[in-house]
A and B are shown apart, each in its own frame.
Chain A
Amino acid sequence: MTEETIFDLLHSAVVDYVVQSDGKASENSIKADAKDEDLSKLEYIGFFTGYRMIERLTREMPRFKDELDTMKFICTDFWSAIYKKQIDNLRTNHLGVYVLQDNAFRFLTKLSNGKQYLDLAPRYVTFTCGVLRGCLANLGIESIVTAEIQTMPSCKFHIQVQRPC
């Protein structure tokens, strides 16, 4: 049983670790162009966390009916267990693209609401992209997850399901 604060601190420690270890590789380029930061390690850490997490959470649950049912589960139960609130809006084109919108994303609520830290925001959502991808992967859905932040602290996660041709 651990306090929530620990997870917040751990998350920022993970972000720091990844940013620093990449910073060593390309010292100068970081500040110049924050958008090009390589956050793939962070995504990877998230992926494994999500992959293992969902395995434990859904152990005693009946199988999901279909893809949409899985997404609904992620938006409600899963999200509120981890991010303390549900996803505010779920949209889909029924062709494998889902957009999950969270109007007050847990890791962004502690940053300024203005534009000040907008370029740094990707650091704080990449882990979650990985978590989502990991969860879906272990539920049998291969996907690509990206995040889009227009105004803080709201965040849209785009999930694109990869279908076998």
Chain B
Amino acid sequence: MSRASTRFDSKKVNSELVTLTYGALVAQMVKDAENTDDVGKQLERLGYNMGVRLIEDFLAKTGTGKCMDLKDTADKIQSAFKMYLGLQPNVSNWSPAGDEFSFLLDCNPLTDLVELPEDLKNLKYCNVICGAIRGALEMVQLDVHSWIIQDQLKGDPCTEIRVKFIRRLEDALPAGED
């Protein structure tokens, strides 16, 4: 084996690579799509597809079992944030019914080096995270709705991602089996 990467911190490079690739992709989508809402939707879908696959990786690497309740789910997503994006969001703003909560991100690797131009101010740049949460939870039989409330790119002090529990998905039995 020849000399490994000596000059670069490969973790940092990888993180920048993700940021830049994502940025280039969004730029292309903005160019292709007619309006910014469409781009938001596409990013959500893209995140969903990533989440569906990411959950497998997460379960395999961490060996976590079933979530007992939504608090437990929130904690696990928090650890997934740490694992995949290297950040520790706060879980807060629980609704009285306990079916809604927020992740507060004070920095976000996806939005490093990013600035939104004036005409794209309503672009939901980080929608991919919402999609990923939804996709991942769907694979563990939780139907949730996830959206962005605050966004640093729009001048808010932090990025806030809201998650609302909708229902528990039941395994559908194949027809003819009991």
Contact = CB atoms under 8 A, between A and B. Distances in A.
Interface residues of B, number: 39
A9 B56 CA distance: 12
20 contacts: A1-B85, A2-B84, A3-B14, A3-B84, A5-B54, A5-B84, A7-B17, A13-B46, A13-B49, A17-B25, A17-B29, A41-B28, A45-B21, A45-B24, A45-B25, A49-B24, A52-B20, A57-B8, A77-B6, A84-B10
Contact of A1 (B7, B27, B54, B109): B109
Contacts of B24: 45-46, 48-49, 52
B83 interface: yes
B15 interface: yes
Interface string A45-78: 1101100110011000100000000000000110
Contacts of B14: 1-4, 7, 81-82
A14 interface: yes
A21 B18 CA distance: 21
Contact of A2 (B2, B49, B86, B113): B86
A10 B29 CA distance: 14
B158 interface: no
A10 B32 contact: no
Contact of A17 (B15, B17, B18, B46): B46
Contacts of B42: 17
A56 B7 CA distance: 13
Task: Tell me whether chain A's interface is mostly helix, strand or loop, or mixed.
Answer: helix
Contacts, number: 103
B105 to A, nearest CB: 13
B16 A56 contact: yes
Contact of B18 (A2, A41, A57): A2
Interface in A9-56: 9-11, 13-14, 16-18, 21, 41, 44-46, 48-49, 52-53, 56
Contacts of B5: 77, 80-81
B66 interface: no
B2 to A, nearest CB: 6
B115 interface: no
B3 to A, nearest CB: 8
A-B complex: 8 closest residue pairs judged by Cβ atoms: A1-B86, A80-B5, A81-B13, A48-B24, A45-B24, A81-B8, A9-B50, A2-B15
B57 interface: yes
B53 A6 contact: no
A1 B11 contact: yes
A133 B109 CA distance: 25
A126 interface: no
Contacts of A14: 21, 25
B4 interface: yes
A101 interface: no
A76 B16 CA distance: 18
A122 B137 CA distance: 33
B4 A45 contact: no
Nearest to A80: B5
Contacts of B3: 76
Nearest to B13: A81
